[in-house]
Structure 1
């Protein structure tokens, strides 16, 4: 895994291999991440990255949030309660020397403390466990999701927008579906 674009382009990230099933780590592949960021920066959704506060839920290795930082995001809050994930995220933050631009929370993503509204949210829960909608609702209730925020939800199937959100687009990359939602203001 590596950073695909921006100021940290080409930087290798901490190696997870094919993932860690016990820790529910299933890193987003470079190919899917590149396609996803091409969509984000293609103009359809405006400019959701540059200067944005980003929330990376079920952050795993932190690759999505770090890619956003590399491409101009102002700050990323990583949320993952797993010890393996926490270590990988810390290692990757250190590699990019971006500790001043991030917050790392070791909490259950569905039980977030009060937070600062973010304009871009990555949601990559363990597949098939029905955690995405619950987590999105909890993040909204805790003040993490700004009006008009763009949500990028990765799952094993296309997702239906929960109340308070509008579905904008859905893309399939092999066995991964990425659903783009907008928080209704």
Structure 2
């Protein structure tokens, strides 16, 4: 969604979807949590409150600076795809909420799954108009949470 100046408008995760996400994840205390396309940082901040070690990735410098002032984790001002391509870290949980106009879903999913630890979970928030063949999908109005689990092995 764009505003009158043609810039991408923020579409924060609704309280309903955020609650559902953390119900799906269960106890995340002590786990590494990557919040891609962090926006306002609200999902990562909730993960912090629940005891996760959070890395926020947001390419908008203004938003990244705001997250730094609120955050309990590391904030990286960088494009999410570029971060996944260059990071040497692996995560227990990766959450991504790209803009609905995002066009590189296949690349995002592929890279995120590669950055999961064994047993890790990748959750993608997206429009219900899209289907990616995830292990599990939950629909909340126009929003879907698609979940993949990296099996041990």
Using the size of structure 1 for normalisation, the TM-score is: 0.70
CA distance in 2, matches of 1:139, 1:171: 19
Deviation of 1:24 after TM superposition, in Å, equals: 4.3
Maintained 8 Å contact 1:156/1:177: yes
Give the direction of change, closer, same or farther, for the CA distance of 1:24–1:149 in structure 2 (3 Å limit).
Answer: farther
Residue 80 of structure 2 corresponds to 109
Using the size of structure 2 for normalisation, the TM-score is: 0.83
CA distance in 1, matches of 2:144, 2:113: 22
Aligned partner (choices 18, 25, 30) of residue 51 of structure 1: 30
CA distance in 2, matches of 1:171, 1:147: 23
Which sections of structure 1, spanning at least 5 residues, go unmatched? Answer: 1-18, 42-46, 162-166
Which sections of structure 2, spanning at least 5 residues, go unmatched? Answer: none
Q: Does 1:173 align with 2:152?
A: no
Deviation of 1:23 after TM superposition, in Å, equals: 3.9
Maintained 8 Å contact 1:128/1:156: no
SS in 2 for 1:121: strand
Aligned partner (choices 17, 22, 25) of residue 7 of structure 2: 22
Tell me the matched-pair count. 147
Give the superposed CA RMSD.
2.3
Residue 15 of structure 1 corresponds to none
- 1:75-94 equivalences under 5 Å are 75-93=53-71
CA distance in 1, matches of 2:137, 2:113: 21
What whole-Å deviation, never above 9, does each CA across 1:105-143 have from its counterpart, x for those lacking one?
1111111222321101101111142333312323455xx
What whole-Å deviation, never above 9, does each CA across 1:129-182 have from its counterpart, x for those lacking one?
2333312323455xx321221011100025324xxxxx3321111111111111
